[in-house]
Structure 1
Amino acid sequence: MSFSPDVLGRPAGCSIQEQRERWQRKRSRTAKELVQTEQRYCQQLHLITTFFVEILKAKGTLKQNVRESIFSSIKDIQSANQSLLVHLENGYFGKGLAQFCTHLHHYTAYVDNIYNANKVLMIQLKKNKAFRRFKKLQEARPEFNSHKLEDLLQLPVQRIHQYKHFLQDLTANTSPDHPEFEQLSKSFHEVMKVFQRIEDNTRRHENHLQLCRVQKLLKGKRTKIMTAGRWYIREGWLNMVPQKGDGAKPRMFFLFSDMLLQAKRCSPLELTNGEKFVGQHAYPLQDCSVEKVFGHTRSKGGLLSLTFPKAKLLLMSNNQEDLNDWHQNLSAAIRKLQPAATVIHQREDRRGELACNRKRHMPLADATERAQTSPEQDCSVPKRMKESDDAGASAGSSASSCVIL
């Protein structure tokens, strides 16, 4: 088989061969780095299980449930990685990684518990003097090389990030006809599932911290911020323009995935609540519409008009960029709440069109006969639709009404 020469006059077959050689060199470098980092990782896992898990279990310094809350599935992870290391050192990357992926549920359990583990660890360090002293003595060992237990417990989470990049490079630099290509590809997808789980857990944890922070900023417990499924988006000062009269009033607004909370600063005379806010109104975003209004601030900022079923807000900002961000965030939050309702209305409209088309093309005799034989049917359908529409309207009205706090 002959190859046509390329632009430089070299046979095309040489460029393909050179490309394969480059792939092989990159693959070899990645494989070497994977083995070296896996060896260090297994040594560090050994430190945790030997000098903490096993000794704590023998001494009884921590109760079993507390110990399991801190270290979770670390022993199972160490066992799985020791087996992986043997395969990697012998050059069986595809087989070793494929077998390792069957034990990724231990990593899933570990990453799901990592925030709770940190919390329990901090509590024990604060309350358990014997554990605090034991931890300090173990970390002073030369094997730990000044590493703290808190840092070592994060290693499995960090290792998943590393596996993602290693497997991505190995797969990209392995020929599709290589016997390990399929195993590497499947392993990459399995590791990506755990990696995505870590990312989702991180976002949920950060959102939880934001909700807790906002809850602490509000005076009293009347305004409930901690609600399942609620996501924090942003906060900031905006000027409320009254419907009648003049004099815009600055108010703090907290935007969440399902509502906009209006609050004002507590009186500075209140020594304990001087830095807090009082929740005034909670506006559900379910049936809200937002519109940007221009021309009221001479190109410096502008107005946002928010329309609710039972309320309307005019919010002003002198910062154009800040106003654009508010408009974008509000529009995105409202849009996420409305697709389901939009789809239902589209389906109902489509059904109505089809029914009209069928009646339009129905023979006159058939239509007359049907009208004469079943008049109740024709009358009962609109009645049921009207009742359901009224129920939906009342449900939407009650769900989207403004709550005065």
Structure 2
Amino acid sequence: MARVIDVTWIVVGAVVAVLLLALVIGLVLARRRRVSLGDEDRQPSRPAGYQGTGQISFSSGTAVQERPDTAEPEPAPSGPEPVAVSPEPVTPEPVTPEPVTPDPVATEPAPAAPKEEILPAEGRLERLRGRLAGSRSAFGQGLIGLLGGGELDEASWEEVEDTLLLADLGQETASELIGRLRTEMAAKGVRTPEQARGVLRQVLVEALSPGLDRSVRALPHEGKPAVVLVAGVNGTGKTTTTGKLARVLVAGGRTVVLGAADTFRAAAAEQLVTWGERAGAEVVRGPEGADPASVAFEAVKHAGEVGADAVLLDTAGRLHTKTGLMDELGKVKRVVSRHGEVDEVLLVLDATTGQNGVVQAKVFAEVVDVTGIVLTKLDGTAKGGIVFRVQRELGVPVKLVGLGEGPDDLAPFEPAAFVDALLN
């Protein structure tokens, strides 16, 4: 009986020992599990480019990790919940770009040398006197025939006056000349055509005021190029005159820049470029329809930069009856004057227009300070008397005359040579 009891306590003790061992093992395992979970919470987050279980999409250069719906969410980080702060919108100050005006001009380089030989300016009028055949027949020969017949009665003097009027001298100029002729012929006792020719020559030369300064101011001064503005109505030959004058200056050893300020006539700039090639001069031009004053200003500026002796500005033809066009011519001169004074304003008149040409000259003189007259097409008219009239009524000298269509048919005006050509 005692032996049975001892065995029972042994079995009970063994069971209790097993239970205690199991309890200890369970506690140890539980503690290890808690430690393991705590370490996992402190592991760093996965990098943005991690490719284990998600896909990467790119937007504006930033990587965003997308996880499948079945994946367990990562545990929220400990600490206070972050507060998203949206920065206040910053409105940039409006920036007004400065207006950019494209360069309206282009420069045609001058050829190395003129394509044609240029005749010297000296003595041109003498060489071209044969071109005045029409004026000579109606003016000089008619007057000599009337005056050389001896003592004249009133009817003869009326014929002399009619001849002067037909030659386009105008009433006032004609009356003044007749008074001088009657006085001189009576004082010298004229009886022959040769005597009449001598008196007539003296009176006509004096009427042209030979003492006036007829030089074209086209020489540099104070380190700046001379500025010559060429104006006139349509069809008088402004562009041609500008080109021919450039040849005269180049023949004298001067460097010239041409400004194509006639931007309304499509062919004007091309025509001036051709003249530049013939004369050996640079041409500054603008697009068709550009502001003439802007082109003229750039031409003067360029002439100063390259050290040219003179810049010749060819302006658009304008009717003297159009106030807006005339005002624009005044604007061209004012704008150019900001860069340098305009030394010469040459008004180009068509000698064949007669009285209308004088009216044009008066209107132009009111807008710009005309300093000289250029009479073109003088070889094609019997009205050479316009030379006397325009000088008397404007008080401005005739400086140049055109006696043909050739490139060198522009001559400096010489009163004595002109009268001699009329009376030849």
Task: Tell me the TM-score range normalised by the shorter chain.
Answer: under 0.3
TM-score norm. by structure 1 comes to: 0.19
TM-score normalized by structure 2?
A: 0.19
Highest CA radius of gyration, 1 or 2? 2
Higher helix residue share: 1
Relative contact order, higher structure (CA 8 A, sep 6+)? 2
